[in-house]
A and B are shown apart, each in its own frame.
Chain A
Amino acid sequence: MAHAVERPKDTFRLSMLIYDTRYRSLTIQVIVFLLVMAGAAWLVDNIIRNLSALGKDFDFGFLGVRAGYDIAQRLIPYSQNSTHAMALLVGLMNTLLVAVLGCIMATIVGVMVGVLRLSSNWLVARLMTVYVEIFRNVPVLLWILLIYTVFTEASPAPNAFRPDPQTGEVTKTLFLGLFAITNRYTAIPNLQFEQGLGSLDLGLFSLNLTFAAVVVLLAIGLYVRSRIIRHATAVQHATGKRPQTWWKSLLVVFLPTILLCIALGAHFDLPVLRGFNFVEGLNVSNSLMALWLALSLYTGAFIAEIVRAGILAVSQGQSEAAFALGLRPRRTMNLVILPQALRVIIPPLISQYLNLMKNSSLAIAVGYLDLRGTLGGITLNQTGRELECVLLMMLIYLAISLVISSGMNVYNSRVKLKER
């Protein structure tokens, strides 16, 4: 057996970095990496030079300084004597509020419209098409402004609810005696507790214990409910008969919360017109309403298309098979089509949620003080720290986006096709 001819020993030459395919891609990557880093370094250097030329420094100390301005809508305690960091938090809470409300509403609207667009009812399907095409083809800023204008121009001022000074006649009364839609806000009854649990001071902000207790009770209720459902499914698998669960679910989810509320003396304070405005009740500003509605209707149109695509992605044979087994259309949708469609729907849905959250920064157009309005608006202006404020804002939006998408990714991995 002859030995194979010994291959010439590889000696490394510098030219091989370019001509040898084994190294070439590595060379290119290293060069590109160096160029990108050099570009970044140049940008940073440029910023530092220009800042020093303008006599400005880079300092986040302003966050601890008294803010001095007031914010109309605040979910956490805040006054003009609070710091800019607190104003940032108030803005962040407002951003999250509108983002969460918007995501919930957009999902409801989107799923309903997406399903109805596939309806065999000609009129319903076409109406939904019109909705989708109108809403997703007009910039969301215009929708926000339009809805806001409708609210402010078409509804009466709080003054209109006052009795006429001459005749004493009341021309306008509260809707159902509970709500007042005005050109500034919608006054709604406010849930109040006679003896609250007080609040816990956490240094940065204080936690409302009553609110926390309600949330914890609801969470426990939901967990127990999921156990009941799981048990029912197990019984169904074992015996073929599914025990009734709806009343148990209602009981465990709502009864403890209601009992707690009664124990704490919960009652609704109705809005009353006093001085210039409605007081006692909760005043939901028109800017929040406009922003919420516009964002959810706009994003809802996109979600509708995603839902429709998801449903159409499930082959026709699946529903035919379900019908052949005798399942009604509703159960076919819930048990056969939607579970499969969700796998297609979830990934693009994540980016719609992210879009909605980021679009909420258009709030400034209607004077809703979200993160962009407090940190990126008033704080930026009053302190003159443009670079710091904008960088911080970008960082916060990035963090929220990453949290949303990682949360949704967890959900996605739960519904996606399990390969075993």
Chain B
Amino acid sequence: MKKTVFFGTLTAAGLAAGLASAATLDDVKARGELVCGVNPGLTGFAAPDANGTWTGFDISLCRAVAAAVLGDGTKVRFVPTTAETRFTALASGEIDMLARNSTWTFSRDTDLALDFAGVNYYDGQGFMVNKALGVTSAKELDGATICIQTGTTTELNLADYFAINNMSYTPVAIQSNAEGEQQYLAGACDAYTTDASGLAATRAAFATPSDHIILPEIISKEPLGPATRQGDSQWNDIVRWTLNALVAAEEYGVTSANIEELATNSQNPEVKRLLGTENNLGAMIGLDADWAKRAISVGGNYGEIFSATIGESTPIGLARGLNAQWTQGGLLYAPPFR
């Protein structure tokens, strides 16, 4: 009997994957598990800790979505994807959502048949060099050898930047951040380029981070965000509004500490709608009333997640900068919950 069920599930899973069915929500619920495509190892954003538990900024978003949909932030299976395989993995149905420092661009949103569900980190591309080189500006990198992850937008930005500034360089193509780290430390390239947040995270993992500097030039806009398959707007809405709920929670002062109290006592109608005590917003996206409350409870609101994973108190030490609330001069702006 058990065996039959097992094989039945296997066949069903195979068929479901083969057809890349539209209703991701139903698949996730039936599976009882969210499959989230993440970075194979970028400290602070997505990396397994000593016990093999995944932690990080992107991981927290996956956990929030799992909590909203399945009621449990631990019911997530993390699939490490390289920069090259990530979109194929999503398009083929191997993963339900992608939260892997992926830049939202026009062609990815349209031609690659992805749907981005907002921006969870506003980033820009930078360069890291060894202090001993004596380089203080990216404009001094003429003739340098530069390590670059293939299949990324940074690859194209790099080519553009050097062409515009009439400089030459030798690209060294690498597959993953770990490989880039190793090549850079071995001196196989003079500079390493990727998103500035990624550089900070990479540098934090070095033996002597202070030997390396991140150059002041930011050469591109890199809005990083979660993505889902095109053609399933319900699922995209769930991911989008889970992210918005985390951002809105910070704006309204809802934290993991006071969420239970606010759920019962709050007089703010916006908070009440967010936490599902007034108007059942969850039903409109196929979930129950408590979805946002559960999502926020897992790791706290956006600000809490930020400071716990990549904020200034962590070794990565990123300032909020553009990623502050719009009320604080940043770009985070959740549309109204009504």
Seen from chain A, the residues whose Cβ lies within 8 Å of a Cβ on chain B are: 50, 53-56, 68-72, 79-81, 152-153, 157, 159, 183-184, 274-277, 279, 283, 286, 364, 367, 369, 373, 377-378, 380-384, 386
- Shortest Cβ distance from A142 into chain B, in angstroms? 16
- Shortest Cβ distance from B42 into chain A, in angstroms? 18
- Shortest Cβ distance from A269 into chain B, in angstroms? 16
- Check B84 against A68 for contact (C-beta < 8 Å): no
- The answer to the question of B321 belonging to the interface, with a C-beta cut-off of 8 Å to chain A, is no
- Shortest Cβ distance from A279 into chain B, in angstroms? 7
What mask results when residues 226 to 255 of chain B are scored 1 for a CB within 8 Å of chain A, else 0? 000111000000000000000000000000
- Check B113 against A277 for contact (C-beta < 8 Å): no
Write out the residue numbers on chain B whose beta carbons fall within 8 Å of the beta carbon of A382: 151, 155-156
Write out the residue numbers on chain B whose beta carbons fall within 8 Å of the beta carbon of A70: 158-159, 162, 169, 171
Give how many A-B residue pairs fall within 8 Å (CB-CB).
Answer: 105
Write out the residue numbers on chain A whose beta carbons fall within 8 Å of the beta carbon of B188: 152, 183-184, 286
Q: Given the known inter-chain contacts A54-B230, A54-B231, A381-B84, please indicate yes or no for A367 contacting B172, CB distance below 8 A.
A: yes
- Check A69 against B159 for contact (C-beta < 8 Å): yes
- The 8 Å CB contact of A369, one of B108, B173, B189, is B173
Count B-side interface residues using an 8 Å CB cutoff. 45
Write out the residue numbers on chain A whose beta carbons fall within 8 Å of the beta carbon of B112: 384
- Check B145 against A184 for contact (C-beta < 8 Å): yes
- Check A277 against B143 for contact (C-beta < 8 Å): yes
- The answer to the question of B274 belonging to the interface, with a C-beta cut-off of 8 Å to chain A, is no
- Check B142 against A377 for contact (C-beta < 8 Å): no
Q: Give Cα A50 to B93, complex, Å.
A: 11
- Shortest Cβ distance from A249 into chain B, in angstroms? 41
Closest B residue by C-beta to A157: B187
- Check B173 against A373 for contact (C-beta < 8 Å): yes
For the complex of A and B, 10 pairs with smallest distance between CB atoms: A381-B151, A157-B187, A275-B143, A384-B112, A80-B159, A367-B173, A276-B144, A68-B156, A70-B159, A276-B190
- Check A69 against B155 for contact (C-beta < 8 Å): yes
Write out the residue numbers on chain B whose beta carbons fall within 8 Å of the beta carbon of A54: 20, 91, 113, 229-231
- The answer to the question of B83 belonging to the interface, with a C-beta cut-off of 8 Å to chain A, is yes
- Check B156 against A377 for contact (C-beta < 8 Å): no
Q: Given the known inter-chain contacts A80-B160, A183-B188, A275-B143, please indicate yes or no for A55 contacting B150, CB distance below 8 A.
A: no
- Check B231 against A377 for contact (C-beta < 8 Å): no
- Check B230 against A55 for contact (C-beta < 8 Å): yes
Write out the residue numbers on chain B whose beta carbons fall within 8 Å of the beta carbon of A68: 156, 159-160
- Shortest Cβ distance from B94 into chain A, in angstroms? 13
- Check A72 against B159 for contact (C-beta < 8 Å): no
- Check A381 against B230 for contact (C-beta < 8 Å): no
